[in-house]
Amino acid sequence: MHKKQSNTSSKFLGIILIFATYVILETDAFAMHISEGILPLGWAAFWYILMIPFLAYGIVEIRRRVKMELYLKPLLGLSASLVFVISLMPIPVPIAGTCSHPCGTAISAIILGPFLSVVVSFCALLIQALFLAHGGLSTLGSNTLSMGVAGSFFGYGAFVMLKRFRLSLPLCGFVAGIVADWATYSATAVQLALGIKGEEAFFPLFLKILVAFVPTQLPLGLLEGFITSGVITLLLRRRPDLMGMIYGLRSQEVEA
């Protein structure tokens, strides 16, 4: 009884400490998202047009799969809330002296598939743009394309490719997390460079933006890898049948 109370108070203390860190360190909104008004209208529209087919196909996929896969709804809810919270969470990087956030799209792409991950990212970014001064409505297309499309597809691609080499799933998840994060910020660098370059050459400006991202995103990419790997490990331990269903894995592979 006494031990149980002590465990509860430790958990309570832990929650207070995490909350205190968040409040103490919080000063402003921190984001990779391109803010409202930064991209010229033409480019903002262009990224919307490029993103919409992915989003539309993702919605069709949800409607098709939800009828057949009973576990899809809770997985969708879990992934959506994880992407929303992770992509909102500012993490201080002491070596760079700046804050940024991971994206979480590798997790949703691995669990749901890349097209559904685009829909999840779009919803998360829409709420952030509307109520949290995070990104913007005019840049929603470009932000969804970088975080949702590039992050999900590159992360998913890395995961599937490494799985073919029979590496353990948590390791595949770790690499997928890194790839998804770095792909997102590379795509943001491309979009920003194209949008603001004017008469300037594209490549030097793109490199300048990319290099400016490196001190923050290099360690954060690794952190995203650990987060993705952690979630995959948790699902493998608690619901190995689910990961087996998703990837049609043999039982030995799941146990490995």
CB of 173 to another protein, least distance (A): 17
Closest CB to another protein among 9 and 56? Answer: 9
* Segment interacting with another protein (CB under 8 A) among 49-57, 113-121, 155-163, 187-195: 187-195
List all residues 6 or more positions away from 16 whose beta carbon is below 8 Å from its beta carbon: none
For another protein, the binding residues in 221-240 under the rule CB under 8 A are: 238-239
Give the residue, chosen from 55, 82, 120, 187, that forms a contact with another protein under the rule CB under 8 A: 82
DSSP 53-78: HHHHHHHHHHHHHHHH-TTHHHHHHH
Euclidean distance between CA atoms 42 and 138, whole angstroms:
10
* The binder of another protein chosen from 212, 250, 251, 256 (CB under 8 A): 212
Q: Please, which residue, 82 or 118, has the CB nearer to another protein?
A: 82
Among 55, 99, 109, 158, binds another protein (CB under 8 A): 99
Task: Write out the H or E segment, with its range, that includes residue 98.
Answer: strand 98-100
Query: Which residues from 29-58 bind another protein, rule CB under 8 A?
Result: 29-40
CA-CA distance, 200 to 194, in Å (whole number)? 10
Residues near 116 by beta carbon (within 8 Å), at least 6 away in sequence: 58, 61, 62, 65, 76, 79, 108
Query: How far apart are alpha carbons 230 and 84 in whole angstroms?
Result: 17
Rounded to a whole number of angstroms, the minimum distance from the CB of residue 165 to another protein is 29
CA distance 49 to 43: 10
Near another protein in 122-181, by CB under 8 A: 127, 129-133, 136-137
Q: Which residues bind another protein (CB under 8 A)?
A: 10, 17, 20-40, 70-71, 74-75, 77-78, 80-82, 84-85, 88-90, 92, 94, 97-100, 127, 129-133, 136-137, 188, 192, 195-198, 200, 205, 208-209, 212-213, 216-217, 238-239, 241-242
